[in-house]
Each structure stands twice: as structure tokens, then as C-alpha cells.
Amino acid sequence: MVRPLRIEYENAFYHVMNRGRGRENIFLSARDYKQFLYCIDAATQRFNCEIHAYCLMTNHYHILIKTPDANLGKVMKHINGLYTQWFNRNYHKDGALFRGRYKAILVDADSYLLHVSRYIHRNPIETSIPMVNELVDYRWSSYPMFLNKRQTPAWLYKNFTFALQNKRQKIAAYKRYVEGELNEEVAAFYGAKKQLSVLGSDLFIKWVKDNFLTTNSETQFTALRYDIDDIIVKVAGYFNVTPYALLQSIRGVKGKNIPRSFAIKLCQDLTGATLIEIADRFNLGHYSSVSKAVGRLNACLHTDKCINAEFKRLRNNF
């Protein structure tokens, strides 16, 4: 079988993951976790890469990484190879530790990095039996460092993720975001039996295809099913209102314009459009207003069963 194409370019973001061969554990003690983090540290110094999130589970790992020098292959070869050598030497084993080539999903940072960061950090409680009661208590994840509950290593970059939320209380805002429910589309993406190689908006995917793919490439891509206008028309039809009614600049739930709030949230969940694009389409003054509107609606969905049920009925139409 031909291996999938690895797309590498300067300043690309990837969600990288790998698991033990035969689903065997790759971390057997606290010392093992620390050694793997040392391997990450060594790779960042040698290859000039940035780590934006990580979570080490018992038999697999997740890393959100940026490669300013377009060298993901070298970075991961170093991390996996160095750790495998140490593991085999420490436990008197031989051969491959991991199941094979690592999986790398190219991430459209503008549209999806926050989603991916949340997905990675939620791993310890998304297992069939949660590994901790509170995410912040999981030791082998970067999440406690995002909340300033553990010392942050020099190689972990937090500010880029915080900046995407554009919130004054960045730590509290990120905590609320991560500990809320996963985006349904992102959950479906990761829940697919055969994960695709790119997570991004349609414009991002087109750019990747135009610049990096050949006619013989076997790389697969995820395509967005809707654009902003699709969402507006469908929500307007569901509530029997005009599209213009959804675009009026009224304060979401506070203004009782529930259809508009639903439309804004669905645009964020289903289109992959940037916050700037959504804000512009809905006549919001600043792109941070999108996150605020969705935040108000999310709070309402948790407290108002009727609105929650209505949103689910609408969401099922997509």
C-alpha cells in the first residue's frame, strides 16, 4: 500500500498521534511519561518546532505542533525513535514500540485549532471510564499548565491559543471552553473509522490541494458541508422568518432573537468560517462578539430545556 502523502510547509500546524503496537501500553510508570516529555523538549531545541498542546495517555499520545521550518517528519522521527530506544533499553525489549507510522492531521489553525486543543485536552475524561474527576488533575497533559496549575516548560506555547479566544480573562475563558461539550462536527471527525488528513475550511483545503497535491496523491480531505449562507437560509426556513431577521444586530439571547443566536452558533460549528467572516455576515462590530454570542447561547442551552430541545431539533436537520 502506498503511504499517504505528508504535507509539510513552513508554519504548518498538525495534530499528531500514535499508539502502542497491538494497543499495548507505551507508558508504564511516571518515569516513562517524563522521558517522553524530555524527548519532546529535545526535539523542540534541535528542530525549532513549537508545541501548542499535548496529552499522554497510557497507550497513545496526542501532540498539537507547529513547524516553522517545515520539518514534521524529522521532528517525529526524533521523538518516536529516541523514546523507543530508551523504552526498549529500560525494559529489556527489542523492536518497534509504536503500531507504525504516526498519524498527522494538518490543521487549519484559524478555524480549527481551538477545537483540536480542546479535543486533545479532554482525552482523560472522554475514555469509557474517566481517568480523573477533574481535567486539571490529569498530570500528563498540558491542560493544567494552561490554567497555571503546573509549571509551564519553555517549549509549550499557550498564548497563541489564548489569543484565538480574544478574552480578557483568558485562563477562565479557556477553562470554560475546554470543559464544555465537544463540537459535534469535530467529534464526528475524530470518531470516524478512517480519519482524514486535513481538518480545515473549504478555502484552506482548496489552498492545500492547489499547492501540494499531485494527481497521484492518495491524501484524503474533509470537506465542509455548509457555508454561512446555507446556514442562514436553512435556519430562516425552520423558523419561518426572513434571512434579514437573522442578520439584524440584536444581542442574541438577551434580545430574545433565538433564531439569530442559533444561526451564529451553527455557523461556528458547521462551516469552519473564521470569526471575522461570521461577524461580518451577521453585522457584529467585532469578531469577539461571535464567541460572546455563542457563549451566551451555550449558557442558555444548559439552563433552558425548551431552548435546548429546539436547538437539537434544528441541528438534526443538518
Query: Do 136 and 241 fall within a single domain?
Result: no
Query: Do 155 and 90 fall within a single domain?
Result: yes
Beta bridge partners of 60: 19
The pLDDT, as a whole number, for residue 253 is 46
The pLDDT, as a whole number, for residue 219 is 44
Per-residue model confidence as pLDDT tens digits over 138-196:
999 999 999 999 999 999 999 999 999 888 899 999 999 999 878 788 888 888 766 67
Q: Is residue 237 part of a domain?
A: yes
Task: Look up cell 470569526; give the residue.
Answer: 275
Strands 103-107 and 198-199: what pairing? parallel
The pLDDT, as a whole number, for residue 85 is 95
Query: Do 208 and 232 fall within a single domain?
Result: no
Q: Is residue 5 part of a domain?
A: no
Q: Is residue 283 part of a domain?
A: yes
Query: What is the average pLDDT score of the chain?
Result: 87
Residue 66 CB coordination number (10 Å): 19
Decide if pLDDT at 217 tops 60.
no
Residue 202, amino acid = D
- Structural domain containing residue 66: 12-212
Q: Is residue 163 part of a domain?
A: yes
Per-residue model confidence as pLDDT tens digits over 19-78:
999 889 999 999 999 999 999 999 999 999 999 999 999 999 999 999 999 999 999 999
The pLDDT, as a whole number, for residue 250 is 60
Q: Which helix (H) or strand (E) holds 38?
A: helix 30-47
The pLDDT, as a whole number, for residue 224 is 44
pTM, two decimals, is 0.69
Query: Do 269 and 203 fall within a single domain?
Result: no
- How many structural domains compose the chain? 2
Report which of 204, 267, 213 is spatially closest to residue 235, judged by C-alpha positions.
267
Query: Do 196 and 239 fall within a single domain?
Result: no
Q: Is residue 146 part of a domain?
A: yes
Cα distances (angstroms) measured from residue 208 to each of 126, 211, 309? 31, 5, 38
For 119-270, strand residue ranges (E) read 198-199
Give CA 18 to chain center in angstroms.
Answer: 16
Per-residue model confidence as pLDDT tens digits over 86-107:
999 999 999 999 998 899 999 9
**Which of 170, 185, 212 is the last residue in one of the domains?**
212
Query: Do 175 and 49 fall within a single domain?
Result: yes
Query: Do 80 and 126 fall within a single domain?
Result: yes
Give the residue-averaged pLDDT of 312-317. Answer: 83
**Which of 184, 212, 240 is the last residue in one of the domains?**
212
Query: Do 203 and 271 fall within a single domain?
Result: no
Query: Do 188 and 234 fall within a single domain?
Result: no
CATH number for position 289: 1.10.1750.10
Give the residue-averaged pLDDT of 104-129. Answer: 94
